[in-house]
Amino acid sequence: MLTIIIIDLVTTRRILPYNSFSEDILFFTTMVIISIGSFILLAYAKRVIREIYSRSFFIKLIFVSTVIISSIILGILWAMLFSNLLYCNYHFSLCDNRIYHSMVNVISSMSATAILIAISFKFFSWYRTNYKNYLMLLFGLLAVGMIIAVVGDNINELLLTKTIIENSSHGAISKAYFPYKQDKKHGGEIQYQITNPEKTIIFVKPVSEQSISHIISQLTSYPHNIFRWFSVVLLLYYYYYFKTERARFWILAAVPLILFIIGSGFIFSLPSDSPYSFYLRVIYRAGNIGDSLLFGLIFYYVLKKIDVEKIKDYLTIVAMDIIMFDLVFSTSAYQPTYGIAAHSLVLLCACFVSIGWYSLALSIAQDKKLRQTIRDKVRDESKLLDNIGTAQMEQEAQNKVMKIVREYEQSMKEQSGIPSSMQDNDIRVYMEQILQEVKQRKV
For 177-216, the pLDDT digits (tens) are 787 778 888 888 888 887 777 778 888 888 887 788 877 7
* C-alpha–C-alpha distance, residues 32 and 17, integer Å: 22
Q: Are residues 258 and 383 in the same domain?
A: no
The dihedral built from the CA positions of residue 284, 288, 291 and 296, taken in this order, carries a sign that is negative
pLDDT for 91 equals 47
Q: What are phi and psi of 29, to 5 degrees?
A: -65, -45
Over 50: is that where the pLDDT of 93 sits?
A: no
Please indicate, yes or no, whether residues 230 and 378 belong to a single structural domain of this protein.
Answer: no
- Rg of the chain (C-alpha set): 26
Q: How far is CA 345 from the centre of its chain?
A: 10
From 309, 337, 365, the end of a domain falls on 365
Phi–psi pair at 304, nearest 5 degrees: -65, -25
Pairing relationship of beta strands 199-206 and 162-167 according to DSSP bridges: antiparallel
So what's the pLDDT on residue 381?
A: 58
Q: Are the CB atoms for 311 and 363 separated by under 8 Å?
A: yes
Phi and psi torsions of 401, nearest 5°: -65, -40
Q: Exposure of 301 by Cβ count < 10 A (0-12 exposed, 13-18 middle, 19+ buried)?
A: middle
Strand partners, 177: 193
More confident residue, 116 or 293: 116
Q: Which of 307, 342, 365 is the last residue of a domain?
A: 365
Say how many CA atoms lie within 13 Å of 121 toward its Cβ.
7
Least confident of 47-61, 356-370, 396-410: 396-410
Could you give the number of structural domains in the chain? 2
Give the CA distances from residue 225 to residues 74, 251, 398, in Å, rounded to whole numbers and listed in that order.
Answer: 28, 18, 43
Q: Does pLDDT of 73 surpass 70?
A: yes
Least confident interval from 72-81, 156-165, 178-187, 266-275: 266-275
pLDDT greater than 70 at residue 292: yes
Statement to judge: residues 373 and 321 lie in one domain: no
Residues 356 and 370 in one domain: no
Give the whole-angstrom CA distance, residue 52 versus residue 58: 10
Whether 39 shows a pLDDT value over 90: the answer reads: yes
Does residue 268 have a pLDDT over 70?
no
pLDDT at 242: 47
Predicted model pTM: 0.81
DSSP string for 70-126: HHHHHHHHHHHHHHHHHHT-HHHHHHHSHHHHHHHHHHHHHHHHHHHHHHHHHHHHH
pLDDT recorded at residue 259 = 72
The answer to whether residues 385 and 437 belong to one domain is yes
Domain range spanning residue 264? 2-365
Identify whether residues 430 and 332 lie together within a single domain: no
Same domain, 262 and 385: no
Q: Do 306 and 206 reside in the same domain of the chain?
A: yes
Torsion of CA 438, 439, 442, 443, to 10 degrees: -150
Reduce the DSSP state of residue 201 to 3 states and report it.
strand
More confident residue, 52 or 113: 113
Please tell me the predicted confidence (pLDDT) of residue 92: 43
Is the torsion defined by CA of 318, 320, 321, 327 positive or negative? positive
Residues 280 and 150 in one domain: yes
Looking at the structure, do residues 349 and 371 belong to the same domain, yes or no? Answer: no
Flag whether pLDDT at 71 surpasses 90. Answer: yes
**Last residue in a domain, options 312, 338, 365:** 365
Percent of the chain surpassing pLDDT 70: 73
Whether 351 and 62 have beta carbons less than 8 Å apart is answered as: yes
Least confident of 121-125, 293-297, 382-386: 382-386
Q: Classify each residue of 96-120 as buried b or exposed e, where b means 16 or more C-beta atoms within 10 Å of its C-beta.
A: ebeebbbbbbebbbebbbbbbebbb
144, 289: one domain: yes
Confidence of residue 97 (pLDDT cuts 50, 70, 90): low
Q: Which is nearest to 186 in space by CA: 202, 210, 168? A: 202
**Are the CB atoms for 153 and 191 separated by under 8 Å?**
no
